[in-house]
Amino acid sequence: MSGLGKGIFSSSLAKMLQDKGLAIAPIKLEGYLNIDSGTLNPYRHGEVFVLEDGTECDMDLGTYERMLDQNLSRQNFATSGQIYTEILERERRGDYLGRDVQMIPHVTGEVKYRLRKLAMTGGPDGGLADVIFVEVGGTVGDYENSFYIEALRELAFEEGPQSTCFVALTYILEPTILGEQKSKAAQLGIKRLMEAGIQPHIIGCRAHNPVTLTVRQKISMFSNVPLNRVFSMHDRESIYTIPEAMRAEGLDREVLSILNLHGRVDTQHEDRARQRWTDFASKIRTRPRKHQISLGILGKYAALRDAYASVDKAIEHSSTHLSADVDARWIDTSDVDSSNVQELLGNVDAVIVPGGFGERGVEGKIACVQYVRTHRIPYLGLCLGLQVAVIEYARNVLGLRTANSTEFEHHAEHPVICELPEQRRIEGMGGTMRLGAQDVLVEPNTLLSFLFESQRLIRERFRHRYEVNPAYVERLASAGLRFSGRHPKHAIMQVIELPPDIHPYFIAGQFHPELTSRPLRPQPMFMGLIAAAIARTNPQFVGESISPRWLRPQPSAPKRNGPKSPPKVISHTGR
């Protein structure tokens, strides 16, 4: 079945090989005909993850980036729509010289070409990769991904022995009425894979509880996979503890043997990388933690956590480093207004308004922003979270009661948020969406500057159509709203905040800071929010020390324009 965690298994395995000094290049092969994930409903497919180059892709790419601390690009993501489009365009150009175009060899050949090209250019700085990790979306037996599986069978045959390691992820049933685990469904699923010509080398068994030895023995016998390569991937408190569990089972050594890579291992690099990761994982397991806070997350897809997967992980990164237990309250703002906002937010220590599109739930978010602003509750706005904060400020501080965004009211009397055609030309994106990494110029002596340790230029990822209307910037600024992050060359406002004498922690970015948060380098705006929430409940937190190494890239990590050390502390008075 789908949704078992192929990306988590694959990225955890990739993390272990990367720790050994190997260059890793992951790729997700999706079966749907969409060209990318940009138009997919979050309820159907989870969040849309945006890469540095603006590629809108599957949320599993976010798992790879976070686990590997590695920026990916469009060559790390492919859909059936991309594959078919490329082949049909070639056919129209006459590139096939009159041949009939077929699934084999042309479609499977395109898949193999992309994988081989990734091996040549997908490593660090565009160089060679030692190992590519190929994740096939969907399930074995789906019509839409059958050509991917056939292409991988062909590739393994062409490259020869010790070139490929196949991993099958299956589900172990545990019906509550029986009280025991059942493996027959898993056996039949693996049999389906073997019928397609692929013999798995490793099997990951997903289950709620640890998979019993008896079940693993059955899976081993009926799949021709040695018992020590049948791994129990049961539920854990965090995905970041899985690499350690795999290492304890010796899966990394098995992969090295299958691919004949023992001779390429850098043991000193592995020791350093393992120690850093082990330190982080031990903090995840530490209970109880030093601080307890409650956090309200106000979205329109609150019923589906995958819709905000990166937000969830960014919170986990920061709260782990700050030793905070977070009671995350996911609140659907569709039915929120001024009459019930206090009931929902009266006892939270901080609030996040994540991104989104469409009018549903927006007025509820505006009511919530007014409440947290006037009650001095720490606030972090992400993309749409900035826009609703500007609308709220214009309505309730400037007195422009009809202020709105042209996304929600096309002929708004006061369009403080709007889509500007000249900005589309400036960005040169060829469409109405600003996508991918953009530079942000940081104003000195601001909260944003403090969080990023006085850097003048930071780089974050954007995915939006609407901007703060430049015609209202001066009026908003004169009323106390500070624009602390801007486009380096043009009048595009990218970060707003309130001064510390007005609010202890109120900041919002037009970008998505959650997309660049990593386990060992948590994003500064999230670190600041969690720290401000702790300070709200425990003013003594002001005196605590935060290690600067958390936000510093380690010697083995890819270069990144971003913070070199964390914020020292956010007090209840602002800094």
The arithmetic mean of pLDDT across residues 378-387, rounded, is 96
The arithmetic mean of pLDDT across residues 268-285, rounded, is 94
572 is catalytic: no
User: What's residue 551's pLDDT?
Assistant: 35
- The pLDDT tens digits for 75-124 are 999 999 999 999 999 999 999 988 999 999 999 999 999 999 999 999 88
Q: Which of 10-14, 46-50, 61-65 has the lowest mean pLDDT?
A: 46-50
Intervals of CATH 3.40.50.880 along the chain: 289-551
Q: Is the confidence at residue 320, as pLDDT, over 90?
A: yes
Q: Is the confidence at residue 565, as pLDDT, over 50?
A: no
* Domain 6-282 top-level CATH class: alpha beta
* Polymer length of the chain: 575
User: What's residue 304's pLDDT?
Assistant: 72
Q: Is the confidence at residue 169, as pLDDT, over 60?
A: yes
For the record, the structure tokens of 453 come out as: 């340790």
- The pLDDT tens digits for 490-512 are 889 999 999 999 999 999 999 99
- The pLDDT tens digits for 208-227 are 999 999 999 999 999 999 99
Strand boundaries in 152-261, DSSP class E: 167-171, 202-207, 230-234
Separation between Cα atoms, residue 351 and residue 338, nearest integer Å: 16
User: What's residue 97's pLDDT?
Assistant: 86
What's the mean pLDDT when you consider all of the chain? 89
383 is catalytic: yes
pLDDT band at 430 (very low <50, low <70, confident <90, very high): very low
pLDDT band at 45 (very low <50, low <70, confident <90, very high): confident
Asked whether 134 and 169 are in contact (CB, 8 A), the reply is no
Q: Quick one: which of 118, 142, 143, 147 has its CA closest to 130? A: 118
Separation between Cα atoms, residue 142 and residue 128, nearest integer Å: 32
pLDDT band at 303 (very low <50, low <70, confident <90, very high): low
User: What's residue 246's pLDDT?
Assistant: 93
User: What's residue 200's pLDDT?
Assistant: 97
User: What's residue 452's pLDDT?
Assistant: 94
Which residue, chain included where needed, has tokens 């400036």?
Answer: 426
* Parallel, antiparallel or unpaired: strands 324-332 and 350-353: unpaired
How much of the chain, in percent, has pLDDT values that exceed 70? 91
Among residues 383, 392, 460, 503, the one annotated as catalytic is 383
User: What's residue 179's pLDDT?
Assistant: 87
- The pLDDT tens digits for 343-352 are 999 999 999 9
The arithmetic mean of pLDDT across residues 457-482, rounded, is 94
User: What's residue 46's pLDDT?
Assistant: 81
Q: Is the confidence at residue 2, as pLDDT, over 70?
A: yes
Asked whether 251 and 13 are in contact (CB, 8 A), the reply is yes
Separation between Cα atoms, residue 256 and residue 442, nearest integer Å: 46
460 is catalytic: no
Q: Quick one: which of 492, 532, 518 has its CA closest to 380? A: 532
Distance between start and end Cα atoms, the chain: 49
**Of 570 and 57, more confident:** 57
- The pLDDT tens digits for 114-138 are 999 999 999 888 899 999 999 999 9
User: What's residue 574's pLDDT?
Assistant: 33
Among residues 363, 392, 514, 572, the one annotated as catalytic is 514
Q: Quick one: which of 411, 372, 407, 366 has its CA closest to 389? A: 366
Half-sphere exposure at residue 507, Cβ-oriented, CA atoms within 13 angstroms: 27
Q: Positive or negative, the Cα torsion across 62, 67, 69, 71?
A: negative
The DSSP code for 163 is S
User: What's residue 4's pLDDT?
Assistant: 87
**Of 97 and 539, more confident:** 97
User: What's residue 199's pLDDT?
Assistant: 97
Q: Is the confidence at residue 423, as pLDDT, over 70?
A: no
Instruction: Enter the CATH code of domain 289-551.
Output: 3.40.50.880
User: What's residue 3's pLDDT?
Assistant: 82
Secondary structure string (H, E, C) spanning 477-508: HHCCCEEEEECCCCCCEEEEECCCCCCCCEEE
Distances (CA, A) of 57 to 52, 60, 82, 203: 11, 8, 12, 27
Helix, strand, coil proportions of the chain in percent (round to 5)?
A: 45, 20, 40
**Of 44 and 569, more confident:** 44
pLDDT band at 429 (very low <50, low <70, confident <90, very high): very low
Intervals of CATH 3.40.50.300 along the chain: 6-282
